Amino acid sequence: MESKDKEQKKKKKGSGLKLFGKILLGIFIFLVLLVLFVRSPWGQGIIVDRIVSYISNKTGTEVSIDRLFITFSGDINMEGLYLEDEQGDTLVYSRELEADIPIWPIINGEGISIDNLEWKGVRANLSRKDTVNGFNYQFLMDAFAPADTTATATTPKDTTAASMNFSLGDVALSDFKVKFDDQVAGIQSRLNLGKLKVEMQEFSMDSMRFEVGEALLKNTRFRYSQTKPFPEPEEQKDPPMPYFSVDKLTIDNVSGEYKSVPDGLLADVSIDDLLLELPIANLAEKRIVVERFGLRNSDFLIQTKTSSEEKVATPETTPENTPFEWPDWNITAEDITLSNNNFQYLNNGQTPEEGVLNPDAIDLRDVDFRSNHLTLKEDSAEAFVQKLNFREASGLDLKKLNFDLNISEDKLRLSGLNLHLNENRLAGKMLIDYPSLASFIEQPEDATVDLNLPEFYVDMNDLFILQPELKKNEYLAALAKKGVSGRFSAEGRLSEININNTRLQWGASTSLAAEGTVFNATDPENISFDFPQFRAVSTREDLLNFIKEEDLGIQIPKELRITGQFSGKPEDISVDAQLVSSCLLYTSDAADEEDSVDLGG
């Protein structure tokens, strides 16, 4: 009996295992058939027809899909999506869409994740003519909006419900043409996107942290026009500041236009080649690190229109002077290169004019710039500039500029200065010590200066570009006939600065050498000077540019030398000097011989 019971139990166990195996086999066969159904053209046709019919019946518009393929892993491949608006015009057309969207996290409520997205050939026309009908895609939102039959007007919103997470992986978009017209808000925009590729490393909307590996924007055109003022924003809490990082961003052949009629602003940009490596852009902590930035063969235009109210500032609206404070930003840029770029700024319809530098019409051409170190920290700033050159439409030609600049809370150091502007040249260094930068700005006379310019050359004609009215000054016009060269050295407090080893040369025959002290150099109304030593040499030919012999009743000698000292103020000068000339004549018939005359105060 016991053996029979054991045999019956074994048979029951075997039957149970067989039944479980049959169930698993049935599920497996069902899944295989379902996969085959989904993957087969017949199954895809049924799925597409069902989806198209459902959307078309819900919206009352024409919908078509050439091919739709969905896998259990979340891969979606859709080709030839066409959707009309209620007027029978094209709302959206998509040639090909492929996305990797895992289904299981959505089922578990963990959020939506798009691990990979490739989208090609999109045409979209979005518009709004009035507030009654709304946007031309409003019918889609109304058709698929969930009906809430339990909520009433007095039912409070559940603000404690957690928002669903959203993450984004790699994105590749190409051949997009999008139109957006909003007559209510006064917005007209166009986007012709050639290619956009983004390798996302982290995408978190909760923490506002976005990290990108490589990104590429290529062959793209855009236009944005704002014809009405933006509505006043509602008061709301400040949103969290984001964190960005980009291993490598490349922009190639991108152009666009931004126009704001209410603000009188037009910006036109054409970027041929831009490269950016931005490891840190932490806006919350105000910290930015740029490892590399390059821009070449690009054009930028900004046009503004200033109203008469903005031009005239009344005493009531004039802001009071506030003490200087260092910006609380930490910015570092290690490798900045600009090559062959053009920048234009035009205000109130003014245009550049040759020979006149107009701050309302700036046109910089062939701008080149190179720096291997730019920093701004809590209490210091540095700029190491290896190259800067450009041509301005007024006639200014900056052929060369390089320098090292260090500014801290107690000193300003400028070294390695080398400037070549038109025919003007300047080389030298400068050191300024001060108690604090704020005190230097407020009271510069307390600062100590050490300035050394071993070489300079000044073409006075370029001064007329900056101030055309100075051409009317006959003495400056005469001075501009020849260049001024020499060397200059100064040290001491700006309230009492010593001029040493200074020599000025006008042309080949006129020179001035002097050593002395200038008092109150920062206060033109109270400036004074004391030069115990000076020496001037000139010729009759040079002096005739400034003096008319017939007005003086004398004939100027061929050569003149003056040595001595002078002091006082610009309006009250005391001179004690000796004049030595080849001949001092009161009539043109006097003999040609050298005379010496003492000049009193």
User: What gap in Å lies between CA 222 and CA 290, rounded to an integer?
Assistant: 26
Residue 377 token pair: 């920290």
User: What gap in Å lies between CA 376 and CA 327, rounded to an integer?
Assistant: 8
Give the pLDDT band of residue 40 (cuts 50, 70, 90): low
Query: Who wins on pLDDT, 31 or 66?
Result: 66
Query: Who wins on pLDDT, 130 or 267?
Result: 267
Q: Using the Cα atoms of residue 438, residue 443, residue 447 and residue 453 in order, give the sign of their dihedral.
A: positive
Q: What pLDDT is recorded for position 448?
A: 94
pTM assigned to the model: 0.81
Q: What is the mean pLDDT of residues 395-423?
A: 95
CB atoms within 10 A of CB 134: 14
Measured at the CA of 82, the angle between CA 117 and CA 106, to 5 degrees, comes to: 40
Summary mean pLDDT of the chain = 83
Q: What digits encode the pLDDT tens for the residues 161-208?
A: 455 577 788 999 999 999 999 999 999 999 999 999 999 999 888 888
Q: What pLDDT is recorded for position 264?
A: 93
Residue 467: what residue type? Q
For residue 236, pLDDT over 70 is answered with no
For residue 413, pLDDT over 80 is answered with yes
For residue 97, pLDDT over 50 is answered with yes
Q: What is the mean pLDDT of residues 12-36?
A: 60
Q: Using the Cα atoms of residue 254, residue 260, residue 261 and residue 265 in order, give the sign of their dihedral.
A: negative
For residue 431, pLDDT over 60 is answered with yes
Q: What pLDDT is recorded for position 371?
A: 96
For residue 330, pLDDT over 90 is answered with yes
CB 517 within 8 A of CB 498: yes
User: What gap in Å lies between CA 157 and CA 475, rounded to an integer?
Assistant: 81
Give the pLDDT band of residue 322 (cuts 50, 70, 90): confident
Q: What digits encode the pLDDT tens for the residues 131-161?
A: 888 888 888 887 766 555 554 444 555 544 4
Q: What is the mean pLDDT of residues 253-274?
A: 96
User: What gap in Å lies between CA 385 and CA 430, rounded to an integer?
Assistant: 16
Percent of the chain scoring above 70 in pLDDT: 79
Residue 189, strand partner residues: 180, 224
Compute the half-sphere exposure of residue 13: CA atoms within 13 Å on the CB side of its CA. 6
User: What gap in Å lies between CA 16 and CA 149, rounded to an integer?
Assistant: 48
- In 158-242, DSSP assigns E strands to 166-182, 187-204, 209-226
Count helices and strands (H / E) in the chain: 10, 28
- Dihedral angle, C-alpha 349, 352, 353, 359, nearest 10 °: 90
Q: What digits encode the pLDDT tens for the residues 300-309?
A: 999 999 865 5
